[in-house]
Structure 1
């Protein structure tokens, strides 16, 4: 078996046949010269996403394409990618091309330069290229979440993150977990950090989310994470012998 890569880039995609090939090539350029693999998780797309990615295997030897039999959502797709990843460091990006892959290596470097307890470095989007309504909804949502969870994160909706695979696998899984990774990492006794990253216009396809669609799920998720925080008991350092 080939030596395991240092980094696994995990990208969930659903109906992104237009964006996925270009994004794959951008990631390959951004991480050129590093030990990495690129995992696209096709969340039961109804278009040609799986086919167009499969056609890139000769061009990008680091590419792996995993496919769900049924649509299970972004968080489950990320978890599928992490469970199958061989790298100790995971980088996630949204599949619509709005995250800039060129920012990924800097997040990895910041994570690896930190102490062992630093488990996540998240991106915070600057000059967001979204509609005014989406930016307002995001600003309100982030403010409420940050106040209630005290996770110090300004933009958990940014899909670009670098984190330690081992730390992620210690977290309790639930749908939409990807928006609560900083709070859950802190709950486990890890540290988190954040860096500004670029944000781009969506060039193809359409957004899978709306402010109204997120509202009920966000309220339910917040209550669940607050409960998880209330039930956490951290033992501090663990010594043997």
Structure 2
């Protein structure tokens, strides 16, 4: 597949980003099925939650030339999403690349593969999501294959440049702004109601009665 270099996507809507910063990401799981990355793709470094614009990068298994190029283009709030073509042996992401991203204000990075230099990454604290860690790294081979801001797959999820990346200790969600805007208000309402629901549980009220699950089963039976 030849090189495919495209322009960076449009900025995200600031109002939507602000709402997504307030929502509990697992609450979105009440309303969405798509967009949830493989649960084995977990945060390896950093503690902050991520809400950012996806800048997509596709590399070959052993060559991180495209990623090095992309690292000099990202801006504040961007999340680099790296498709390694299914490779699970080489780490394209380590101390130098993550410092490059952090120095430009990136919000985080999600790699559909492995990372390295884990102690340095944790000291830097930029959120890094990967399947694990290794000492075997990619090289700068300069292979004429890869893409920037073209569609990729990460954690089993199709990703377009400009999608919104959400990440916390539970994992990663990647979806279009349109899809997230359609559910975020209802999710925020749920979050606001949850403390009262939990309080009623501690007062002895059955969960099924509070949520309607018991009534549903009685009706079905």
Shorter-chain TM-score tier:
under 0.3
- Of Structure 1 and Structure 2, which has the larger fraction of its residues in strand? 2
TM-score between both structures, scaled by the size of structure 2: 0.27
Higher relative contact order (CA 8 A, sep 6+): 2
Which structure carries more helix by proportion? 1
Larger Rg: 2
